[in-house]
């Protein structure tokens, strides 16, 4: 790499674009803007208009904090061309058959891919199935940019862990799971989030493991979150030692993503 991402964070010259300014993206953009040049991008013109007027319809951020932020809000792609770190926080809704609707992710990846430059880093926060970042999103980035993954540009994954309206468990009070497409980028992503999350981060062994951790957390959250090993205080873990999640179906999925197939019965349990 021409530019060392680690030095970008240490020197605070990372320039960040947050793609999608909903209940996940907006609080993230605000915290990042306290330390880094940050652009908030959203296609919803009304949303951008409101944010410029210090109004957050999601009620995640109050008027005072919006008024004090240094974020540049925009719907124009030209305003994020000069950024070197893109964080995609678009929603992943499900259809009537409970299948994930990947269109928002595809659209965001297409937008970023068209302006992607050598040494740029793209970090995904959207909830996806294990393997989705590298199997679904990366090919779009490569196609649109003409660049090669893990040679010209790099990716990270740090799943959002926000419950809308939950003021107790916020971005700054929940341990952030991080990951990267190689060791250097994993360090970069981890340092980026460590700089804005006081309670700390947990660096997963791979992007696929971080993706699996989020899926398992959601399963537990919709069961009994108070008893979940993936509760707010213990993200580490939803995925067992050696990067193997303890849910059999996800064990198989992550094993496949790592290029190995292990019997589902060999899944490790973490507690």
Contact 157, 211 (CB under 8 A): yes
Show the tokens assigned to 70.
């240094």
Helix (H) or strand (E) holding 193: helix 183-194
pLDDT (0 to 100) of residue 148:
97
User: Which distant-in-sequence residues (6+ apart) come within 8 Å of 104 by Cβ?
Assistant: 20, 90, 91, 92, 93, 126
Are 42 and 58 spatial neighbours (Cβ–Cβ below 8 Å)?
no
Q: What pLDDT score does 173 carry?
A: 78
* Model confidence pLDDT, tens digit, residues 183-216: 999 999 999 999 999 999 999 999 999 999 866 6
CA 75, 177, 157, 151 torsion-angle sign: positive
> Residue range 242-271: average pLDDT?
38
pTM confidence score: 0.80
- Size of the chain, expressed as the number of residues it contains: 271
Whether the pLDDT of residue 75 is over 60: the answer is yes
Domains and CATH numbers, the chain: 5-203 (3.40.50.720), 205-271 (no CATH)
pLDDT, residue 268, reads 31
Task: Inform me whether the pLDDT recorded for 60 exceeds 50.
Answer: yes
Closest to 105 in 3D by CA, of 122, 117, 120 = 122
Given pLDDT bands bounded at 50, 70 and 90, which one contains residue 50? very high
91-106 pLDDT, tens digit per residue, is 988 888 888 899 999 9
- Write phi, then psi, for 99 (nearest 5 degrees): -90, 145
């Amino acid at each position: 790499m021409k530019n060392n991402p680690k030095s970008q964070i240490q020197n605070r010259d990372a320039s960040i674009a947050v793609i999608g300014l909903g209940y996940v993206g907006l609080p993230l953009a605000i915290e990042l803007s306290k330390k880094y040049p940050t652009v908030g991008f959203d296609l919803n013109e009304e949303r951008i208009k409101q944010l410029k007027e210090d109004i957050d319809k999601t009620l995640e951020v109050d008027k005072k904090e919006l008024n004090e932020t240094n974020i540049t809000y925009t719907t124009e792609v030209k305003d994020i061309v000069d950024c070197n770190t893109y964080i995609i926080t678009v929603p992943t809704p499900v259809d009537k058959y409970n299948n994930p609707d990947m269109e928002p992710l595809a659209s965001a990846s297409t937008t970023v891919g068209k302006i992607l430059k050598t040494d740029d880093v793209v970090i995904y926060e959207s909830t996806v199935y294990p393997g989705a970042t590298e199997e679904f999103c990366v090919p779009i980035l490569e196609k649109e940019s003409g660049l090669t993954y893990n040679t010209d540009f790099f990716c990270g994954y740090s799943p959002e862990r926000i419950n809308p309206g939950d003021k107790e468990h916020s971005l700054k009070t929940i341990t952030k799971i991080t990951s990267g497409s190689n060791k250097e980028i994993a360090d970069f992503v981890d340092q980026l989030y460590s700089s804005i999350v006081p309670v700390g981060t947990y660096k997963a062994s791979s992007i696929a493991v971080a993706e699996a951790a989020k899926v398992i957390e959601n399963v537990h959250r919709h069961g009994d979150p108070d008893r979940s090993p993936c509760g707010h205080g213990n993200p580490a873990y939803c995925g067992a030692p050696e990067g193997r999640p303890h849910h059999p179906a996800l064990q198989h999925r992550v094993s496949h993503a790592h290029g190995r197939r292990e019997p589902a019965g060999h899944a490790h349990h973490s507690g």
